[in-house]
Amino acid sequence: MRHRRNGYPPAQRLLDRLERWVIRHEDYRPIGDGAYLLRMKVARYRRARFILRDGTVLNPGDPVGELHMDNRFAAALHEDGSGAGRFRREIFRVFAALARDLAVRPEYRDIRVVGGASLFWRDGGLAARLGFEQQPLPAFTRWWLGTWERILLTAYHPEGRRRLERGRPVELRQMWMTRGTLQRFLDRDGPGRTV
């Protein structure tokens, strides 16, 4: 998907530059061939022991896949007003590609869990239906990272601030998906299909 570079307000251009810096600095890598909504980096789990529903245990120091959304890509999905359906299709597409990467890329061999912080973790919501499990974050992290996520949503979502004002306010939570849960996307996609 191609992204427009011109015609965006100065604040969005600044956020774009900052996002490119974060991707380079933090070494977020493309998933599959790179034409996807998310990127991933290998990180270390830094919180208390956490047991997921399928029995996967996260211990401090374990390698995890930290996901990063391409905000410009996500914004482009909403340009014609039918973003929700396109966003869901892209999520299924990227998770199938990520499951493939975890299966074949040696540098991802030890990753058993992938995830990232999100405002959209509500029980029964899309994230839960996809198989994410949520974990509370420390108060300071919720505040500063949650503020940053709200700035990005306001800047990139076509509804801007109104998108945040709909429904009840939510706090930022850490979302995790196990390798086994992620495998379902590959099984659904089929081994012979292209993503």
Query: Domain for residue 4, yes or no?
Result: no
Query: Domain for residue 138, yes or no?
Result: yes
Mean pLDDT score, 49-74: 92
Q: Is the pLDDT of residue 24 over 80?
A: yes
How many domains, the chain?
Answer: 1
Q: What is the mean pLDDT of the chain?
A: 81
Helix axes 179-189, 83-104, angle to 10 degrees: 110
Query: Domain for residue 194, yes or no?
Result: no
Query: Domain for residue 2, yes or no?
Result: no
Task: Please give the angle made by the CA atoms of 13, 15 and 16, to the nearest 5 degrees.
Answer: 60
Cβ count near 28 (within 10 Å): 19
Range of the domain at 40: 10-189
Query: Domain for residue 48, yes or no?
Result: yes
Query: Domain for residue 106, yes or no?
Result: yes
Task: Please give the angle made by the CA atoms of 64, 60 and 180, to the nearest 5 degrees.
Answer: 40
Query: Domain for residue 1, yes or no?
Result: no
Of 86-90, 112-116, 121-125, 141-145, the range with the lowest mean pLDDT is 121-125
Query: Domain for residue 79, yes or no?
Result: yes
